């Protein structure tokens, strides 16, 4: 007998006995054999849409890409007018693009899945080795959970499947992913259900939720695609596009519109000026194909996948969502907590001061002796954090020079700890040492009111500087007296600060150098956070406390958040609101969090970051998972994101400007010449060669300047670049037209020679553009041995492209394409054109870099 199939989202709540009977299980859980059989029969506990797609499915999905769809439409148009050569080359472009994209996405998916397994979420399950054995609890991957399993849940755990509670203690659950409720919902195994719907049934918990507090034992009632979370996931579809995806889509649709408009424009212009008819349609289609960067999806996937794999291999950073790598490269604001990120979760002694505020090591000796003998005589299991800091700061002689007699340990009501020790060299006299809160110690000291006020002011000044303050008092007592906490002599103060994270200062400096502003969102006192920032060398532009934040409207907070460094006394709701305000101000926001209370802000930010030891639900919702809560790793992730983003932007700049220049020149020449400047097949082969060469950008290494600022893909700035450099490229192409006219003594004498000359020139100018406009070190050479320079992947690729342009016209394949060998005089003229073009391109690039630098400096 096995569980009845179909216990999915539509199954109504039932009594426990009915649930056990339906699932063929019991409160002791399944046997290992039963669990293995059910895993085979029902499959893994994963949402169907999150499973990795096979290579054939990825190939089919690639065909649905907008660029590929445009190419297919253009190919069909060519076939409709029997331009079989044009249609065949377009089909080859489509197949090559889809194969490369599907292969890249398949490799990326396998790599990402492997990385996800490194931080895989587990669940505590109760199973038996055989039928009559006692149940044993153990951790298993969530994917191996099956119907009828009995699981145990605790704070921070994800709800691994739809479950029915068996026992619970103080259980509250976040289920915002299903219901939108922002506050945790009370759940209970014994409470009767109401009439408010299945999600309000207190006995049921659902996959996609998480435990906010309490604990429970539950039986699994639905897994995988049968859960209510899977049903909701199918209804809601894909998550909203990220900033990067929206930018790429915006650029893509602009290009698609141009590509679709090009054929009718070419047809109309040729019909009006040259009296040509449909015979120019294959040429118009080829020109439209030349405008389309069909390798963009391939290059984007390759760049991001390589960056993610490198991060995981070298720095232990797991990228759970590939576009997030570009987003962290575009990040210009990082929100962090103080404790555990900037500081370690322990205090250290800062100074020991006498009653005048001067350094006095004797005060530290008394405080450390009080901490040591409180620990020894009161039989405490371990020192608290403050006592541990005192013991670590004092030398060993300070502890061994006294002999403890008796102790009264710290009491939250008294806010004091007192010990009596033998005074070295003084028989019959003991020393009583009292330490604790400043106000509590001052009240027990024999002091005039004005002196007490002065000492209180001294302590307040230290506290205002972000320090914790302990007061120390002592007095002589006759041997045998019990501790009496009155009539004491005030000895001084011990100040403590948070211990700084060892790598925080260097990491913060690195982030600042890369244009990332760090905002501290903490629940601590503002002075403590400001002190930590100052110790780490972080300039504090402004401080905003929660009480002030609550009085601000959203527009006011947006303006104030931009110039505020420390946000103190923050609740989870405050953190979420601050992240939204920063986004409203035009910033790309990253958020580093590790607790369940950080989840709302983590989801709101453009990039959610969590350490590997974060709460399970927080880690599962993060875009990046760090090996530890270390800002240095974030700096490496930012660099990797900017490398990938820089390569993608370089590809777009070079490809689109070259394509636009070629299209403008080709359309102009087509209207001036009595024949087509290039045959459709020649245009398409040239485009295929250029596409293949540009895949080298995925392996380029951007220049250091590209890593120093956020890699934001701005469609308007990209369009300005394309138009400016595209026009320069068109001028070079039209200059070649003049060189051809001179070399061939009239362009109408030999169409094949004209086609060959323009084919060669186009590939050579594109090779020059690849080298001179590549903003990376790979394009212009990397470091070789002994300080020399060695070519990078872009240089080698450009050289190969130039070689094809020079050799193909004279080859048998060139003859098949309608090309022919060129006269020697043409090569001399072409060299002059290319030299002038390189000079102009270099000057334009220098001006562009100067303007870009000035814009960045102003912003």
- How confident is the model over 389-403, as pLDDT tens digits? 888 888 877 677 778
Which residues are marked as active site?
A: 337
How many angstroms separate the most distant Cα atoms in the chain? Answer: 124
- pLDDT value at residue 600: 83
Give the pLDDT confidence of 680-706 residue by residue, as tens digits.
Answer: 778 778 878 888 888 888 888 777 766
- pLDDT value at residue 1: 47
List C-alpha distances in Å: 543 to 522, 533, 554: 11, 11, 17
List C-alpha distances in Å: 765 to 656, 702, 747, 772: 14, 22, 21, 10
- pLDDT value at residue 434: 93
Q: Which of 302-306, 328-332, 407-411, 653-657 ranks highest by mean pLDDT?
A: 328-332
H or E stretch covering 608: strand 607-611
d(CA 108, CA 308): 9
235-269 CB burial, b ≥16 within 10 A, e <16: eeeeeeebbbeebbeebbeebbebbeebbeebbeb
Structure token digits, residue 799: 């050289």
Mean pLDDT, residues 417-428 taken together? 80
DSSP string, 319-375: ESSTHHHHHHHH--EEEE-TBTTTEEEEEEEEEEE-TTS-B-HHHHHHHHHHHHHHH
From the CB of residue 727, how many other CB atoms can be counted at a distance below 10 Å?
14
DSSP string, 253-284: HHHHHHHHHHHHHHHHHHHHHH---GGGHHHH
d(CA 304, CA 641): 8
Whether residue 297 is predicted with pLDDT greater than 80 in this model: the reply is: no
Q: Give the model's confidence band at 273: pLDDT under 50 very low, under 70 low, under 90 confident, else very high.
A: low
Give the pLDDT confidence of 552-605 residue by residue, as tens digits.
Answer: 999 999 999 999 999 988 888 899 999 999 999 989 999 998 876 787 888 889
- pLDDT value at residue 456: 93
Whether residue 253 is predicted with pLDDT greater than 60 in this model: the reply is: yes
Mean pLDDT, residues 197-205 taken together? 83
Among 53-62, 146-155, 223-232, which is the least confidently predicted range? 53-62
**Predicted TM-score (pTM) of this structure:** 0.72
Whether residue 71 is predicted with pLDDT greater than 80 in this model: the reply is: no
SS3 for 549-604 is: HCCCCHHHHHHHHHCCCEEECCCHHHHHHHHHHHHHCCCCEEEECCCHHHHHHHHH
Q: Give the model's confidence band at 458: pLDDT under 50 very low, under 70 low, under 90 confident, else very high.
A: very high
Whether residue 107 is predicted with pLDDT greater than 50 in this model: the reply is: yes
Whether residue 232 is predicted with pLDDT greater than 50 in this model: the reply is: yes
Among 264-273, 440-449, 507-516, 521-530, which is the least confidently predicted range? 264-273
Structure token digits, residue 223: 């897994």
Whether residue 6 is predicted with pLDDT greater than 60 in this model: the reply is: no
More confident residue, 77 or 649: 649
Among 248-257, 472-481, 559-568, 572-581, which is the least confidently predicted range? 248-257
Whether residue 72 is predicted with pLDDT greater than 80 in this model: the reply is: no
- pLDDT value at residue 120: 54
Whether residue 474 is predicted with pLDDT greater than 50 in this model: the reply is: yes
% helix / strand / coil in the chain, to the nearest 5?
A: 55, 15, 30
Give the pLDDT confidence of 12-23 residue by residue, as tens digits.
Answer: 445 788 888 889
Q: Give the model's confidence band at 734: pLDDT under 50 very low, under 70 low, under 90 confident, else very high.
A: confident
φ, ψ dihedrals at 447, nearest 5°: -135, 145
Whether residue 806 is predicted with pLDDT greater than 50 in this model: the reply is: yes
Whether residue 721 is predicted with pLDDT greater than 80 in this model: the reply is: yes
d(CA 21, CA 592): 45
Q: Give the model's confidence band at 855: pLDDT under 50 very low, under 70 low, under 90 confident, else very high.
A: low
The alpha carbons of the chain give a radius of gyration, in whole angstroms, of 36
Mean pLDDT, residues 112-120 taken together? 54
Give the pLDDT confidence of 568-581 residue by residue, as tens digits.
Answer: 888 888 999 999 99
- pLDDT value at residue 145: 93
Q: Give the model's confidence band at 520: pLDDT under 50 very low, under 70 low, under 90 confident, else very high.
A: very high
Q: Which of 85-89, 628-632, 742-746 ranks highest by mean pLDDT?
A: 628-632
- pLDDT value at residue 555: 92
Whether residue 610 is predicted with pLDDT greater than 50 in this model: the reply is: yes
More confident residue, 789 or 105: 105
Mean pLDDT, residues 782-804 taken together? 72
- Mean model confidence pLDDT for the chain: 80
Mean pLDDT, residues 99-103 taken together? 73
- pLDDT value at residue 538: 87
Q: Give the model's confidence band at 7: pLDDT under 50 very low, under 70 low, under 90 confident, else very high.
A: very low
Q: Give the model's confidence band at 279: pLDDT under 50 very low, under 70 low, under 90 confident, else very high.
A: low
Give the pLDDT confidence of 613-651 residue by residue, as tens digits.
Answer: 776 667 777 888 887 777 889 999 999 998 888 888 888
Q: What is the CA 269 to chain-centroid distance, rounded?
A: 49
- pLDDT value at residue 130: 86
DSSP string, 68-94: HHHHHHHHHHHHHTT-HHHHHHHHHHH
Q: Which residues pair with 433 in a beta bridge?
A: 419, 474
Q: What is the CA 779 to chain-centroid distance, rounded?
A: 27
List C-alpha distances in Å: 381 to 221, 345, 375, 776, 786: 44, 19, 8, 59, 61
């Amino acid at each position: 007998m096995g569980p009845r199939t179909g216990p999915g989202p539509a199954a109504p709540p039932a009594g426990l006995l009915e649930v056990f009977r339906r699932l063929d299980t019991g409160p002791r859980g399944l046997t290992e054999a039963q669990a293995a059989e059910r895993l085979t029969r029902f499959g893994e506990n994963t949402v169907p849409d999150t499973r990795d797609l096979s290579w054939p499915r990825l190939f089919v999905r690639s065909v649905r890409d907008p660029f590929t769809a445009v190419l297919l439409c253009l190919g069909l148009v060519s076939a409709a007018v029997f331009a079989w050569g044009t249609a065949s080359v377009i089909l080859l472009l489509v197949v090559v693009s889809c194969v490369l994209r599907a292969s890249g996405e398949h490799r990326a998916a396998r790599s990402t899945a492997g990385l996800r397994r490194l931080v895989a979420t587990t669940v505590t399950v109760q199973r038996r080795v055989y039928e009559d054995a006692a149940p044993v609890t153990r951790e298993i991957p969530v994917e191996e959970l099956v119907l009828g399993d009995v699981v145990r849940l605790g704070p921070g755990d994800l709800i691994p499947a739809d479950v029915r509670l068996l026992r619970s203690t103080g259980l509250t659950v976040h289920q915002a992913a299903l219901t939108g409720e922002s506050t945790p919902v009370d759940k209970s195994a014994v409470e009767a259900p109401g009439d408010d719907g299945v999600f309000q049934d207190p006995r049921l918990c659902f996959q996609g939720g998480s435990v906010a507090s309490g604990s429970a034992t539950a039986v699994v009632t639905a897994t995988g695609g049968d859960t209510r979370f899977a049903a909701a996931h199918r209804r809601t579809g894909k998550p909203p596009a990220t900033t990067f995806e929206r930018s790429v889509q915006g650029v893509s649709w602009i290009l698609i519109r141009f590509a679709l408009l090009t054929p009718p424009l070419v047809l109309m212009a040729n019909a009006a000026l040259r009296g040509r008819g449909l015979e120019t349609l294959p040429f118009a289609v080829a020109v439209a194909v030349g405008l389309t960067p069909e390798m963009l999806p391939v290059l984007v996937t390759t760049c991001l996948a390589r960056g993610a794999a490198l991060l995981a291999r070298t720095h232990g950073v797991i990228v759970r969502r590939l576009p997030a790598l570009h987003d962290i490269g575009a990040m210009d604001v990082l929100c962090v907590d103080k404790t555990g990120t900037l500081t370690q979760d322990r205090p250290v002694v800062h100074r020991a001061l006498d009653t005048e505020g001067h350094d006095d090591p004797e005060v530290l000796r008394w405080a450390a002796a009080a901490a040591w003998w409180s620990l020894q005589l009161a039989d405490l299991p371990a020192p608290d954090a403050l006592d541990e800091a005192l013991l670590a700061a004092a030398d060993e002689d300070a502890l061994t020079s006294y002999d403890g007699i008796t102790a009264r340990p710290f009491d939250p009501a008294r806010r004091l700890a007192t010990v009596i020790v033998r005074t070295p060299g003084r028989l019959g006299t003991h020393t009583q040492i009292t330490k604790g809160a400043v106000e509590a110690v001052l009240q027990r000291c024999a002091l005039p009111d004005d002196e007490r006020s002065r000492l209180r002011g001294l302590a307040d000044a230290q506290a205002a500087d972000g320090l914790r303050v302990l007061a120390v008092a002592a007095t002589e007592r006759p041997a045998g007296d019990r501790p009496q906490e009155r009539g004491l002599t005030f000895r001084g103060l011990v100040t403590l600060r948070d211990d700084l994270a060892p790598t925080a200062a260097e990491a913060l400096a690195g982030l600042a150098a890369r244009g990332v502003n760090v905002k501290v969102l903490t629940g601590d006192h503002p002075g403590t956070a400001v002190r930590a920032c100052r110790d780490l060398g972080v300039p504090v532009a402004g401080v905003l406390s929660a009480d002030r934040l609550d009085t601000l409207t959203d527009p006011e907070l947006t303006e104030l958040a931009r110039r505020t460094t420390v946000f103190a006394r923050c609740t989870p709701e405050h953190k979420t609101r601050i992240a939204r305000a920063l986004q409203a101000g035009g910033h790309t926001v990253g958020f580093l969090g590790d607790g369940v209370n950080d989840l709302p802000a983590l989801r709101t930010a453009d990039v959610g970051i969590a350490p590997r030891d974060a709460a399970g639900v927080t880690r599962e919702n993060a875009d990046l998972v760090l090996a530890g809560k270390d800002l240095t790793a974030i700096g490496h992730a930012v660099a990797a994101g900017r490398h990938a983003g820089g390569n993608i932007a370089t590809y777009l700049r070079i490809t689109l400007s070259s394509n636009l220049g070629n299209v403008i020149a080709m359309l102009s020449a087509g209207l001036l010449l009595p024949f087509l400047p290039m045959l459709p097949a020649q245009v398409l082969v040239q485009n295929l060669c250029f596409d293949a060469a540009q895949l080298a950008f995925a392996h380029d290494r951007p220049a250091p300047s590209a890593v120093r600022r956020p890699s934001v893909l701005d469609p308007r700035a990209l369009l300005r670049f394309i138009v400016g450099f595209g026009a320069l490229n068109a001028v070079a192409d039209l200059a070649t037209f003049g060189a051809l006219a001179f070399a061939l003594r009239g362009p109408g004498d030999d169409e094949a020679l004209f086609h060959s000359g323009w084919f060669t020139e186009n590939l050579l100018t594109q090779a020059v553009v690849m080298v001179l406009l590549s903003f990376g070190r790979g394009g212009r050479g990397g470091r070789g041995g002994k300080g020399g320079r060695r070519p990078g992947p872009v240089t080698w690729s450009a050289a190969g492209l130039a070689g094809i342009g020079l050799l193909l016209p004279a080859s048998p394949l060139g003859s098949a394409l309608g090309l022919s060998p060129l006269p020697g005089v043409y090569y001399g003229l072409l060299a002059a054109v290319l030299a002038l073009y390189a000079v102009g391109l270099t000057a334009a690039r220098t001006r562009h870099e100067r303007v870009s630098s000035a814009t960045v400096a102003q912003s």
